């Protein structure tokens, strides 16, 4: 939002005005796909399979020996409603969808006099995921469990401020001949994506826009280069102060791994103040196990916010990084991956 608008989402411009290409070893090219350059078509989120170790062989999702978590709610689904552990949620309208998940706006429907329900007029979000393999299934369930723990760990005033989706219920249903479906009911956050608020266009347009057009803004409806130094500082300070309690509580539970402008919402009032919130924990990992899991887990998230170690792992591999003299780079990747990305985002907002 700052007065110069120097940090933009998308490409990395060089002195000659060309876009810098990412140097990627040939062995990785098949896993990265369109991510072989920082061109305007650079995707928001990638997941790059590590080449230094093979992923663990997990049992099939249809394996009867695969144990379900005891916290799974009983699920009953009809055309318009979903019942999770005797709580009924009515789907109202589709909010968005991805490769294997759809998010619906929903509301809870009371089914008995003594039942405690979410406020009748409060809009909820119902995420319905149909993972295609055991790894994706585990990630969907983990997202629900992280939201559940985070909602219980955050201070009451942070929950009331709606900085993250508040967990309500989750459950899994699976027919004998089909993949499982994971349901997560949570509070619906207000606002627009932070990148759209900053640049005035959604992420699909952002992918196709040249850096010259983006940096010469502001575009209609965007906030890029609209503030003086004091205003830019105030917005960046609001982002930091509002989200610090969230990351403080999250760090003992999980790492988000996809902290980026598209996964933040912002709601600005007429007085000029902004309220920020974080969503989409679909790529999160347990912080307690990440110290060992990073050796076999994909490098995931938005490449524009990657730590230096993530790029070095892509180019050189794990053995190189573990032997690298400066151990702080790997420590940053293992212990401070969200803090680094959040710092880049804060600078993006400020400048």
Question: Which range has the top average pLDDT, 38-42, 131-135, 215-219, 269-273?
Answer: 131-135
Partnered with residue 181 across adjacent β-strands are: 173
> CA–CA separation, 239 vs 275, rounded Å?
8
Greater confidence (152 vs 110) lies with: 152
pLDDT reported for residue 303: 94
In this prediction, residue 44 carries a pLDDT of 43
| Type and span of the H or E element at 129 | strand 124-129
pLDDT in tens, 218-264: 678 889 888 999 999 999 999 999 999 999 999 999 999 999 999 99
- 300 upstream amide cis, omega within 30 of 0: no
pLDDT at residue 72, as a whole number:
59
Where is average pLDDT lowest: 9-23, 62-76, 325-339?
Answer: 9-23
Find where tokens 């759209």 sit. Answer: 196
Mean pLDDT in residue range 77-84: 86
168: Cα separation from own chain's centroid: 19
* pTM higher than the cut 0.85: no
Q: What is the CB neighbour count within 10 angstroms for residue 105?
A: 15
Rounded to the nearest integer, the mean pLDDT of the chain is: 80
Angle 11-163-87 (CA atoms, 0-180°, nearest 5)? 120
CA 343 to mean position of chain CA atoms: 16
pLDDT tens digits along 8-62:
333 333 344 433 333 333 333 333 333 333 333 334 444 443 333 333 333 343 3
Q: Above 90 in pLDDT, residue 94? A: yes
Mean pLDDT of the 60-65 span: 38
pLDDT band for position 75 (cuts 50, 70, 90): confident
Task: Count CA atoms closer than 13 A to 241's CA, side-chain side.
Answer: 9
Task: Name the band, by pLDDT with cuts 50, 70 and 90, for residue 93.
Answer: very high
- Cβ atoms of 117 and 98 closer than 8 Å: no
Name the strand (E) or helix (H) holding 250: helix 229-250
β-bridge partners, 129:
101, 182
All residues at 6 or more sequence positions from 204 whose CB lies less than 8 Å from its CB, including other chains: none
Mean pLDDT for the stretch of residues 134-162: 93
pLDDT of 126 > 80? The answer is yes
pLDDT of residue 214: 79
- Give the model's pLDDT for residue 69: 41
- In sequence order, what are the residues at sequence separation of 6 or more whose Cβ sits closer than 8 angstroms to the Cβ of residue 57? none
Q: What is the pLDDT of residue 123?
A: 84
> Phi and psi (nearest 5°) for 153?
-95, -25
pLDDT reported for residue 219 = 79
């Amino acid at each position: 939002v700052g007065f110069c608008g120097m940090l933009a989402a998308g490409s990395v411009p060089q002195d000659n005005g060309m876009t810098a290409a990412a140097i990627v070893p040939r062995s990785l090219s098949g896993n990265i796909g369109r991510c072989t350059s920082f061109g305007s078509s650079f995707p928001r989120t990638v997941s790059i399979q590590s080449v230094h170790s093979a992923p663990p062989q997990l049992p099939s999702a249809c394996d009867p020996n695969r144990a379900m978590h005891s916290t799974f709610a009983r699920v009953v689904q009809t055309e318009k409603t979903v019942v999770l552990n005797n709580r009924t949620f009515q789907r109202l309208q589709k909010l968005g969808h991805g490769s294997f998940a759809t998010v619906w706006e929903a509301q809870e429907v009371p089914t008995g006099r003594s039942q405690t329900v979410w406020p009748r007029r409060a809009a909820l979000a119902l995420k319905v995921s149909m993972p295609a393999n055991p790894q994706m299934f585990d990630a969907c369930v983990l997202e629900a469990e992280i939201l559940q723990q985070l909602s219980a760990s955050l201070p009451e005033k942070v929950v009331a401020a709606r900085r993250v989706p508040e967990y309500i219920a989750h459950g899994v249903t699976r027919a004998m001949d089909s993949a499982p479906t994971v349901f997560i009911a949570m509070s619906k956050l207000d606002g627009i994506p932070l990148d759209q608020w900053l640049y005035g266009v959604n992420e699909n347009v952002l992918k196709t826009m040249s850096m010259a057009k983006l940096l010469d803004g502001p575009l209609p409806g965007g906030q890029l280069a609209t503030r003086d130094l004091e205003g830019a500082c105030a917005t960046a300070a609001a982002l930091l102060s509002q989200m610090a309690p969230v990351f403080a509580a999250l760090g003992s539970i999980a790492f988000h791994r996809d902290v980026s402008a598209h996964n933040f919402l912002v709601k600005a009032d007429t007085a000029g103040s902004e309220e920020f919130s974080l969503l989409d924990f679909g790529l999160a990992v347990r912080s307690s196990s990440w110290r060992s899991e990073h050796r076999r887990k994909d490098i995931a998230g938005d490449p524009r916010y990657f730590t230096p170690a993530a790029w070095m792992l892509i180019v050189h591999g794990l053995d190189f990084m573990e032997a690298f003299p400066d151990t702080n780079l790997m420590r940053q990747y293992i212990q401070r991956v969200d803090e680094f990305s959040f710092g880049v985002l804060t600078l993006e907002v400020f400048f």
